[in-house]
Structure 1
């Protein structure tokens, strides 16, 4: 399905492929049709807008040429289904789900607290995050000079700013003041005339025990408004200032509405014996001896599912759980994973107790984790984080879960290694997962850290567990031949098996599998996608030399790229080269076919 974007430069994507829309005039035609949201745009209006009231003599013929060029790009068949000709003009036959601006507005509406006052604020925060992630720049960026685009671009920009303010207000509702303060500082610098940003920043500072800073922010707001507009602050800012001066009780953070507790589910997909290892780790923490474990497996083997079971077990035993998931997009943020671990725990503490945790020896770490600024050298921060862990664990035994450690930033890896060497005598458990074979930007530091951890390895699901999984997903006793087919296709990989069963049972396209494979090939690094595509296309002819030539990889690069894919469990090394799981080969072939069809339309070659 095609996706149309206007929240930035105008773009069209078909799957992962960005379509070439041609000349600026063709792009302008598409943008103008998108602006009308499925309504017919009369020919005279299109001509008037495209040429800003000064159309050339051959304007109609030129317009039709632009439309024809667009159709060659957009239409998969001879009969138009997207760019439609109507009696009076043209319209774009795209649904609301295909247009990023309409998806953005729908998500913002869903997050409106007036629609559901009882909704968990964390749900609203997720909706707003998803909405704001759709923005890639100013709306209709390349047509900001055009009169026809300015009103709609301005409307969308106003909605975006309101969504940003609502997101920041939701963070305060969730008591995540430390996370909100840096974003509010940036927001007030770029939009100093919006009083709501100043109000939220002052409130966040006050709730973070920074009363003087809160009052200073309100003075800055007053100065901006007076200098730029000659106005005094509005009632909301004046009332907040008065309340801060008298420390009004109403300024305290509201209680976070609690959703109904989710049922505890401990599910290890046939790896129940691993729960003994997990129980030993948790028991060591409860006894004050400290425990640690590394869960390692190829992508898709169910590592995160096992970690969720560890989390559930710890909750049943009354432990506090701090969870962090490393991400390649954030691997360059110093102490980013450590922040994920500590910020939610600190935010949930009463203010006086949090002040005790963040005092004295922990001050360098508090600057990094709580105040979002670097304080002291690395050794001082690591020492502070250690004592922050000690103080938090003295309240109640602490489980720290770190998923996908291969993407962890360097500083957080050093904190993890520092903590592992000092676990003895602490009521702390550390459970870490690693995706086997996935390249890391810091392999030496990662290997050194992981070597400190006892390790359990996850492999493929045995047939009896696969049968139970198929039964669970289909709601019926599975046919043994169907189970055998799914196991043959997926090799018992937990993720692939579950998706294979779901798509075969429902008849849907395996889009989740395609995204998963695409993500792994990106993670494998440059040349991996080309090599995998060559192995898929060549089949029985996939010798090393043939694959290297087809993928355009030199003799020097080829072995390294191949080794990564083999370590990740995607390929089997041999002659010919083969995929470890047939379903992955079919997925790569399907994606290659889509790419080749796009290449035909755009005049490009696949390899």
Structure 2
């Protein structure tokens, strides 16, 4: 019979439907066997592995005979009598279940969720609502319920449970887009009952409350989750929640209404461990500005270093203390021109100081200029004009930038330095910082690694991330078994970013990096001489081709060449 005439449903206790009728799968061990084969996604599972997994590492002497008997009964249940087996097959390696993704409800659910997102992005809220409500009806209980205690199913169960929660969150966003704010509030509160510290659920609740005409209640709910995170985990809300809080304070309805359904990684708390000195430097700038003297800070660091997370944290605290907060992005990578924001919209540099002083009105104001590296000549000239011409006002300006010393920014940053601007440089986190973060998140890894006081988990996460907060946060979105070790995976967000950065390199540079990745081993270090020999190129050519990777921050060379993060070499080898 065609495999497609079967439907495998693991979204609850395992069910299999054949020609519209539910199949009797027999005793628990047989159901466990079928789930193990289903999770292999058409790949053969070796006989020894089946025995280990079905009996939790202690297969009895008769395990092989028991598995063969269960397979025989499953074939009789899944396929017509007397036909050759086409669903549950055996080869010399082991058994395989040849079920297509379209015949598994978990895959159908995930496809439906993505279809909902596309409909929502296209503005078809009604169709998106019908789609997501159909999708959520697939769930009958916890995924893979028959294998709740089986180690082989743990990672898949976590992933599917996360997909279910993300589906509920998407439904809340769809209800808001469809104009049902009251229904969205109810659905968001139900999510929070199930997951009290899930920031993405609070994000949706606060948004739904504001759009229901209840801004005061929205602010109270923000304070509730902020207090809960501080008490339970010792952390602050993540950047998405803080940004929404600021939007509610400003009554920025377009920004609040424009928030889309979050993925879990979008609301994960930012990595701010190891940034105490940087935070103190920015606080000193605020103190100086509060005294009536304009003060500037340049916050620099590589992509993913946590510049935005840091200034947003300071901005959120300043806002609670009564500061006005304004954000500006001087220019877009696509050349969108100067976006002056609420403080300076409209004027040229000639009257910018007078207009800004008038709008400040003596109120302490924090002005955040993001991604200064994209500033064009006009934007740089305006900032220089404000810095030199507007001194005795309660204004603090934080500029975030990747590299403040590169042309054409160097002239502006030298001017700001002469005027007393603070320079805050965010470097990689140390392995000890990663350990501290893990304990803050209550992951509490065992303390058996090196150096002393740093767990093996922290050491490996530091190696793979290179101490880059973005890569580290991405790794922490994975199930623990996928963060490091034999089951390590590259998180989707980090994979997309790294592929984009590698594609931006010249082709010869990418080719040399691929050879270096093969040579680097676990440490991430490589010898240009060995790379030259493997590539059949002169050493000076190899050094020249490594130049763009050094400029992009993908490779470091202070004491010999090494990849900035283990993930970079992993992506190169994987591709």
TM-score, normalising length from structure 1? 0.47
**Looking at both structures, which has the greater relative contact order when contacts are Cα pairs under 8 Å and sequence separation is at least 6?**
1
State the TM-score, normalized to the length of structure 2.
0.49
